[in-house]
């Protein structure tokens, strides 16, 4: 017994000493902390700042319209809505931290909006937008309905919105949208940035692991399925021309899709939000691991596939709603391009990065 214990002791001493004495240089290792810093400081926070800027503008224009409703103020409000909606595509994939706690995406961009519920809310003036059941009665899709779909032409839209109840609802939706975005940004700039960057381990709950899983979830569910797959009828027997993003605006769904696709690819490449500089990223991480594995150039394949999706989408009409009715085959082709990147990222990239799906015992068989 004593002998065994002594041996254990000696082994543990030797093990701990030898590893600390001969620690190799860390300079040639991939620096995950640097990647987290790049993500937080150069991509996520600037994206939220830009988004918040447009939300403030949206609120200003909404106030302007409410104060003096006219076709001119309506158009200003619409422009602000479009700009904010585009910026949203750059933050939607980062559903982590406060955004995750708030389920930001669900309260911001669940489409199609439920027009009849919205009408009812306005008529009764009695609603609670914090309830999950009201996800499709607020956010950008609800504004889409109010600003573009509540009546047939601009003059009648202005007319329709010119009641106290309508103005209240418009203001409530805009204010909530702005407050939610602001809350998430403030959390990042006050405390969450450090929490995120310091959570640089390799466990399932580490920042890299979580954000990559979130990114993948967003890519599959929102980008691939939500914007293209569902309207194109990939998950059902028929197409749904009303289930496109910005349905009432009509000619805006392609612009939003391309914005989102670019944002996703930029995140993959670690491109800074407001410049062409790139930092540590999934791409450079894969390239680093490739030097160990001597495998195929996975990051190049993934980038090619992003580009392929974009090329395929250039043939689409500005209105996906039109596209699925006139020529759905082109939509399905774009879907297939997006789908191929699911395999490259979810299978090959996840394997290369050794991203864990879940915390549970597993011996790898």
- At its nearest, how many Å lie between other proteins and the CB of residue 203? 8
Which is closer to other proteins, CB of 77 or CB of 353? Answer: 353
| Chain position carrying tokens 């395999």 | 343
Please provide the size of the chain in residues. Answer: 365
Which is closer to other proteins, CB of 116 or CB of 237? Answer: 237
**Helices and strands per DSSP (H, E), number in the chain:** 18, 0
- At its nearest, how many Å lie between other proteins and the CB of residue 323? 19
By CB under 8 A, name the binding residues for other proteins. Answer: 1, 3-4, 7-8, 11-12, 15-16, 19-20, 23-26, 28-30, 32, 200-202, 206, 225, 229, 233-237, 289, 292-293, 295-296, 298, 339, 342-344, 346-348, 350-354, 356-365
- At its nearest, how many Å lie between other proteins and the CB of residue 20? 5
Which is closer to other proteins, CB of 143 or CB of 332? Answer: 332
Q: At 86, is the secondary structure helix, strand, or coil?
A: helix
Which of 275, 284, 332 is CA-nearest to residue 309? 332
Q: Is 67:193 a contact under the CB 8 Å cutoff? A: no
- At its nearest, how many Å lie between other proteins and the CB of residue 346? 5
> Rounded CA gap, 339 and 337, in Å?
5
Which is closer to other proteins, CB of 24 or CB of 132? Answer: 24
Q: At 278, is the secondary structure helix, strand, or coil?
A: strand
Q: Angle, nearest 10°, between helix axes 164-187 and 45-67?
A: 160
> Rounded CA gap, 264 and 90, in Å?
8
Q: Is 249:148 a contact under the CB 8 Å cutoff? A: yes
Question: Phi and psi for 278 in degrees, rounded to 5?
Answer: -120, 150
What lies within 8 Å, CB to CB, of 66 at 6+ separation is 167, 170, 171
Which is closer to other proteins, CB of 14 or CB of 131? Answer: 14
- At its nearest, how many Å lie between other proteins and the CB of residue 32? 7
- At its nearest, how many Å lie between other proteins and the CB of residue 118? 27
> Rounded CA gap, 56 and 60, in Å?
6
Which is closer to other proteins, CB of 106 or CB of 356? Answer: 356
Which is closer to other proteins, CB of 153 or CB of 361? Answer: 361
Q: Tokens for 353, please give them.
A: 């990065």
> Rounded CA gap, 215 and 355, in Å?
12
- At its nearest, how many Å lie between other proteins and the CB of residue 275? 29
């Amino acid at each position: 017994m004593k002998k065994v214990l002594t041996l254990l002791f000696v082994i543990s001493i030797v093990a701990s000493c030898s590893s600390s004495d001969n620690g190799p240089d860390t300079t040639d290792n991939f620096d995950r902390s640097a990647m987290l810093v790049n993500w937080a400081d150069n991509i996520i926070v600037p994206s939220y700042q830009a988004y918040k800027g447009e939300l403030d503008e949206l609120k200003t224009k909404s106030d302007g319209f409410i104060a003096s409703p006219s076709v001119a103020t309506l158009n200003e409000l619409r422009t602000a809505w479009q700009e904010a909606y585009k910026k949203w595509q750059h933050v939607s994939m980062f559903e982590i931290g406060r955004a995750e706690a708030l389920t930001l995406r669900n309260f911001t961009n669940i489409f199609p909006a439920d027009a009849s519920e919205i009408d009812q809310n306005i008529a009764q003036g009695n609603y609670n937008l914090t309830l999950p059941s009201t996800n499709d009665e607020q956010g950008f899709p609800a504004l889409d309905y109010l600003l573009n779909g509540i009546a047939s032409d601009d003059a009648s839209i202005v007319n329709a919105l010119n009641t106290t109840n309508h103005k209240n609802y418009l203001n409530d939706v805009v204010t909530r949208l702005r407050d939610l975005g602001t809350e998430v940004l403030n959390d990042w700039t006050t405390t969450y940035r450090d929490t995120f960057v310091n959570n640089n381990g390799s466990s399932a709950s580490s920042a890299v692991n979580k954000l990559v899983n979130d990114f993948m979830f967003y890519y599959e569910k929102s980008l691939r399925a939500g914007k293209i797959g569902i309207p194109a009828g990939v998950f059902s027997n028929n197409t749904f021309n009303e289930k496109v993003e910005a349905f009432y605006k009509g000619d805006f769904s392609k612009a939003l899709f391309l914005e989102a696709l670019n944002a996703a690819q930029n995140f993959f490449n670690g491109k800074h939000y407001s410049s062409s500089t790139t930092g540590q990223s999934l791409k450079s991480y894969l390239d680093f691991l490739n030097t160990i594995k001597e495998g195929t150039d996975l990051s190049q394949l993934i980038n090619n596939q992003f580009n392929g999706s974009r090329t395929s989408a250039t043939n689409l009409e500005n209105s996906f709603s039109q596209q699925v009715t006139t020529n759905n085959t082109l939509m399905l082709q774009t879907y297939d391009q997006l789908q191929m990147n699911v395999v490259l990222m979810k299978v090959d990239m996840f394997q290369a990065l050794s991203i864990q799906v879940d915390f549970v015992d597993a011996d790898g068989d």
